[in-house]
Amino acid sequence: MNNGGNDSQRISRRVALSGAALALGAAAIATAVSQAAAQRKVSQADAKYQGTPKGDQHCDGCVNFQPPNACKFVQGDISPSGWCQLFTPRS
């Protein structure tokens, strides 16, 4: 029975669609994992947080600081003039 190659086109579409579905599923899982990781913050003690700057390094000059008083990685209230060992300067 000759159907003009439709079977190979159907298989190719099916393979392409299932591959796209797998890629979307993997992207969704990666997003969920990164969001879960971002929600786990370390304690101020573990980050060696202090309420005063270390030289010219201070929280409001760090890429992780979230105004007015939070950090992406450290729990609790964070002073803009504080500092911790996770300090990463803004560029």
Per DSSP (E only), the strands in 11-69 are 65-66
Looking up tokens 């409001």, which residue turns up? 60
Per-residue pLDDT of the chain (91 residues; tens, 9 = 90+): 555 555 555 556 555 555 555 555 555 565 555 555 556 899 999 999 999 999 999 999 999 999 999 999 999 999 999 999 999 999 8
**What's this model's pTM, rounded to 2 decimal places?**
0.58
CA angle 90, 84, 53 (to 5 degrees): 75
Cα atoms found within 13 Å of the Cα of residue 31, Cβ hemisphere only: 6
62, 90 Cβ separation under 8 angstroms: yes
